[in-house]
Every structure is written in structure tokens, then in C-alpha cells.
Amino acid sequence: MIEFIYFGLEALIIILLALFIALLFNGIERKLIARMQARIGPPITQPFIDVKKLFIKENIVPDNAIPWIFNAMPLIALASSLLVLLYIPFGGMPALLQNYGDLILVVYIMLIPSLALAIGAFASGSPYASIGAQREIVIMISYEFVLSVIVIAVAWLFSLAFPQANAFSFATINEHAIWSVAGPVGIAGLLLLFISSLAVMPAKIGKLPIDIAEAKTEIADGVLVEYSGRNLALLHMAQATRMFAFASLIVALFLPWNLSNIFSLSGTLALIGDFAFFLAKVFVIMFVSGIFVSAASARLKIDQAAKCYISFIFLLSLIGLMLIGLDIML
């Protein structure tokens, strides 16, 4: 019973901390994008203000909606986004649920927010939301091929380097940097996979140039058009958390180094240093793949985005996988 209470407290702390960091990063993101576009932009605390304001506003359910599905999907989207963070190690700290799941499970869980968003949009009864939901599903199908190749490549390398360990376990991935188990050709393949994962991020989090499911100027916010009040606040929190979670996943896979190993730190100093270094790496990933691209790019058409992921990005990840296979044979 005591262990269960401790487990619940740890999970609650991680969830609250993740929500705070995700919304804070979202505020920094909006400020940086504004500055890059020669605007002043909102204050960094704007996401917190928006969420607080939405929670006290009326939660409107459309007449044509299926109420229980419409109201449940935002909560499912947020819960699944937060659940991912319980499987990913933060810096030198092991993941809370690392013994209860692996990389494959995390990839599946990360599908849930997109599916929940699409299902909620379909349940709203709005034609604009339905168009946005269709676009969300098309994009989701497009980039999942790339993520599958990345997972296969990572597991393949670790299964050969550490045959006794679980190749899909985050404990194995966090303990050994993937770059250290590959040769020169394999490193080139890993670099292509890393670039592919960065290319997937705008679609995974619904940012420009892949914010096609919302497209405010085309379909009036698309999947979010009928949401308001508490439900819209939950969806905003889910989107910010999903961005932080996916960036954390990229860091865990491709950038697992810790300051404690580099500078021989120990104790509390090592814990703080590794956590701060982890957040810095996450922010760099978010800036390169999310913030900079969003500020510099225009929205793609749905067919352009789908073709980009199914053809070019998928081909890039396949070449990375083949280079890893060649490296293994050599």
C-alpha cells in the first residue's frame, strides 16, 4: 500500500512538472516565433493565462454532437500525452514505468492524442471539424511509416550489440548511446534517421507547415472549431504536452548523454545537472524542428504533406535503415 502511494505521488509530481514545463516551453515558442516574424508577441506566461481563462468559460456542446464522445476525447488526448512521459527517462533519472512498457508501447500511445482529436472532431457533427479530422488521419498514416522504420532500426542495433538485453527497453537505450554501437556507415544511417524524426515532429504536433488539420484560414480551426471552455483548455494542454513528449522521445533515442558522465558529477548535483541538460536538449529539438520551421514556413496542402512523408521522408528513413544493415554486415 505504501509503495502504491509513493508511486502515485511520483507520477503526480512528474505529471504536474511536465504540464508546467510544456506550457512554459509553449509560451517561449510563441514569443520566439513572434520575434522571428518582427512582432512583439504575447508574454511567456500567455499559455497559462489562456488555460486558466478557458477553464472558467462555458463548455458548449453542439446540438448535433455525440456528447459523451465529444467531451471524453480531450481528456483522453491529454491523459495519453502525459502517460508517454512516464515511460521516457528524464536525464539520469529512470522512467517511472520503464519496467511496464517499451519503445513500441510508447509509439502506440503517442497515436492516441491524434486519434482522440479526430474522433472528437467527427463526434462534433461539424463539417469543418470532419474535414480537419480526415486530414489528421491522412497525415497520421503518412508519418507512422517513418516512425516504424526508426523503431526497427534502433531495436536492430541494440539487439545485436546487447543480445541479452531488451532492445526496445528505454533502460537499455538510456544506458548506452546508440551512436556508440554503430560503425561509420551505421552512424551515417543514424544521422538520416535522426533527420527523419525531426521532420516528423511538425506533423506529430500539428505545427506549420503541417497544421493542416486546423488550418484557421481554410476550415476555421478544423478539428478544434466546435471546442470551447474546459475541453479546449484540455486540448491546448494536450498539444503542448505532446510536443514536449515527442521532443523528449527524440532526445532519449538519439541524444541520451548526461552531464554527470561528462563532468564526473555525483549526488544531487548530478541529478540537477542531468535534468537541466535534458531540458536544454529538448528545447533545442523543439526550436530546430518546431519553432524555426513554424516561423519560416507556409502551410502545405494535404496532398503535398502526405506525399512528402510517404515518399521523401520515408525513403530517407529507409536509406538510413539500409545503411545500418550494411554497417552490421561489414
In DSSP notation, 122-189 reads HHHT-HHHHHHHHHHHHHHHHHHHHHHHHHHHHHHHHHHH-TTS-TT-HHHHHHS-GGGGS-HHHHHH
Indicate if the pLDDT at residue 296 is higher than 80.
no
At 292 the pLDDT is 75
Read off the pLDDT of residues 101-113 as tens digits, 9 standing for 90 and up: 788 889 889 999 9
Closest CA to 35 of 317, 311, 315, 294: 294
Lowest mean pLDDT among 39-53, 136-150, 159-173, 231-245: 159-173
pLDDT band at 224 (very low <50, low <70, confident <90, very high): confident
At 281 the pLDDT is 92
Q: Is the dihedral of CA 98, 101, 107, 108 positive or negative?
A: negative
pLDDT band at 80 (very low <50, low <70, confident <90, very high): very high
Beta bridge partners of 93: 90
At 325 the pLDDT is 87
Closest CA to 205 of 275, 143, 251: 143
Lowest mean pLDDT among 97-111, 180-194, 198-212, 276-290: 198-212
Q: Is the dihedral of CA 26, 137, 113, 258 positive or negative?
A: negative
Indicate if the pLDDT at residue 299 is higher than 80.
no
Burial of 116 (0-12, 13-18, 19+ CB in 10 A): buried
At 329 the pLDDT is 82
Indicate if the pLDDT at residue 295 is higher than 80.
no
117-129: average pLDDT: 89
> What distance in Å separates the CA atoms of residue 296 and residue 200, rounded to the nearest whole number?
17
What stretch of H or E contains 79? helix 67-85
CB atoms within 10 A of CB 1: 5
At 126 the pLDDT is 86
Q: What's the chain's length in residues?
A: 330
278-304: average pLDDT: 81
33-55: average pLDDT: 89
Domain boundaries, the chain: 2-329
Top-confidence residue, 270 or 153: 153
Top-confidence residue, 55 or 164: 55
Instruction: Give the chain's mean pLDDT.
Output: 86
Q: What is the pTM of this model?
A: 0.91
> What distance in Å separates the CA atoms of residue 28 and residue 296, rounded to the nearest whole number?
17
183-202: average pLDDT: 91
> What distance in Å separates the CA atoms of residue 309 and residue 313, rounded to the nearest whole number?
5
> What distance in Å separates the CA atoms of residue 6 and residue 143, rounded to the nearest whole number?
38
Percent of the chain with pLDDT over 90: 27
Indicate if the pLDDT at residue 291 is higher than 90.
no
Indicate if the pLDDT at residue 318 is higher than 80.
yes
69 Cβ contact list (under 8 Å, min separation 6): 119, 120, 123
Read off the pLDDT of residues 5-34 as tens digits, 9 standing for 90 and up: 877 888 888 889 989 999 999 898 888 888
> What distance in Å separates the CA atoms of residue 143 and residue 196, rounded to the nearest whole number?
10
Q: Are 92 and 259 in contact, with CB atoms under 8 Å apart?
A: no
Indicate if the pLDDT at residue 286 is higher than 90.
no
